[in-house]
Structure 1
Amino acid sequence: MTSHEKFNYLEYPARDLGATKDFFTQVFNWQFTDYGPEYSAFSGAGLDGGFYASDQCASMQNGSALMVFYSSALEQTQQKVEKAGGVICKPIFSFPGGRRFHFVEPSGNEFAVWSEPQE
């Protein structure tokens, strides 16, 4: 449902649109709809969005916002990320309220995954 003045859609650049689509399909089970050769919309992510062909990438080092996923099994999600070709750029670390890691997907965009603290 579209809500007035709430986040509705998210867009990211993609250096390799095909590899990015494959990665997010394998790791997070996203679905994609292509709109020409330079744009693909995703769904099944909690917030819909898309990737557009670009030589740019989103990273915290460049001042980009960070999209953070939630996982109830942090180590298993990290293994899925690595198996699908993601690169861990910040290994699992603790922070107040939980644990998380950061990764870079095949097009160079940085994301993070967090979980509650270990008991």
Structure 2
Amino acid sequence: MARPTGEPTWLEYSANGIADSIDFYRRIFGWEFVDQGPEMNGYQMVIAAGNAQAGFMDTAGMTCPEGGEIDPSWDIYLAVDDLDARLEKVKAHGGRVVLEPTEVAARGRFAGILDPTGAYVGMWEEKGFDGYTFSAAPGTPVWFELMSMDFEASTEFYTAVFDFDVTLMESDEDDPQPDLRYATNAPEERASAGICEAKSWFPEGTPSFWRAYFCVTDADATVAAIQEAGGKLLDGPTDSPFGRVATVEDPKGVTFQVNQPLGDSAPGGV
């Protein structure tokens, strides 16, 4: 069954040459990679906890809309009910289509956009494949977050285009920056993504961006493994109301989050 419009449905890693990245993530998360064959240009499906969780795409020979090499990244896809209609909404609300609709036989259709604050996000209309399987198992994605440099513009756009039911979270007395706003795309248990007011943390002119969180059983051990494998620790690990979190970077400079759930302190592994 297709996910509701606006719910994260897929993760995709892209880089110019992905062999080294596959080795890195296999080492960190224990992922299995399944080559989708020449008809899919060697697209690699990530299998974790017995299900498809993400894809890896080699961008060698491809260029961005401005003509330069495509930067390596983790990209988030949001589900849509009608890709063409939603793309019209993107244009009407200040966004820009940078990847035109493309058909994936017997699976679905996708496109890529820039929102008004500069964040790239994919759109996926399911026609046989509804995306990743949420399980909260180690090595699987558990949260998705827009780091917004213009909170009002972001909430207005994602409400208009993706039907976000923007729900502000209340700050608690221990919050080091209680004036910064954070909203989810739906109330309580229906929430699957967040919008974080992040302008004060980045240099002026930084575009907004989406990021993903992966579940691990031991954040500190995972960070150590990432550093040993050639990655970097950017922030944390830090305890939060939702778990022990760290911001890390892979050897190609692509950032992501690792999250150890509350009460989970199993040593070793991911």
Q: TM-score range by the shorter chain?
A: 0.7 to 0.9
After TM superposition, give the deviation of residue 95 of structure 1 in Å. Answer: 2.7
Q: Superposition pairs for residues 32-43 of structure 1, below 5 Å?
A: 32-34=33-35, 35-36=37-38, 39-43=43-47
- 8 Å contact from structure 1 (residues 100, 113) kept in 2: yes
TM-superposed CA distance for 1:72, in Å, is: 2.5
The answer for the alignment partner of 1:5 in structure 2 is 3
* Distance of aligned partners of 1:47 and 1:113 in 2 relative to their CA distance in 1, 3 Å threshold: farther
Paired residues in the alignment total 117
Provide closer, same or farther for how the CA distance between residues 97 and 9 of structure 1 changes in structure 2, counting only shifts above 3 A: closer
> Per the alignment, do residues 48 and 71 of structure 1 end up closer, same or farther by CA in structure 2, a change over 3 Å counting?
closer
* 1:43-72 deviation per Cα after TM superposition (whole angstroms, max 9, x unaligned): 116652211123323376653321101222
Structure 2: state its 5+ residue gaps. Answer: 60-69, 75-146, 148-205, 266-270
User: 2-side partners of 1:112 and 1:12: how far apart?
Assistant: 14
Distance 1:57 1:25, change over 3 A: same
- Tell me the percent identity: 23
- CA spacing shift, 1:50–1:118, aligned 2, 3 Å: closer
1:100 aligns with 2:104: no
Please say if 1:72 is aligned against 2:217.
Answer: yes
- Answer yes or no: is the 8 Å Cα contact 1:8–1:47 preserved in 2: no
Query: Which 5+ residue runs of structure 1 have no aligned equivalent?
Result: none
Query: In the alignment, does 2:71 pair up with 1:56?
Result: yes
Quote the residue 1:112 is aligned against.
Answer: 257
Distance 2:3 2:264 in 1: 36
The whole-number CA distance in structure 1 between the counterparts of 2:252 and 2:229 is 13
CA deviation string 1:1-26 (max 9, x = no partner): xx322654321212330111000111
Larger RCO (alpha carbons 8 Å, 6+ apart): 1
SS at match of 2:25: helix
Q: Cα 1:47–1:112, aligned 2, differ >3 Å: closer, same or farther?
A: farther
Larger Rg: 2
Counterpart residue type for residue 3 of structure 2: E
**TM-score (normalised: structure 1):** 0.76
| CA distance in structure 2 between the partners assigned to 1:113 and 1:47 by the alignment | 19
Indicate the larger mover: 35-44 or 10-19. 35-44
Aligned-partner SS, 2:209 = coil
Q: Secondary structure at the match of 2:57?
A: strand
Do 1:9 and 1:47's aligned partners in 2 also have CA atoms closer than 8 Å? no
Which shifted more, 79-88 or 56-65? 56-65
Letter in 2 for 1:68: Y
Given the two structures, how large is their TM-score scaled by the length of structure 2?
0.38
Q: Which amino acid aligns with 2:22?
A: K
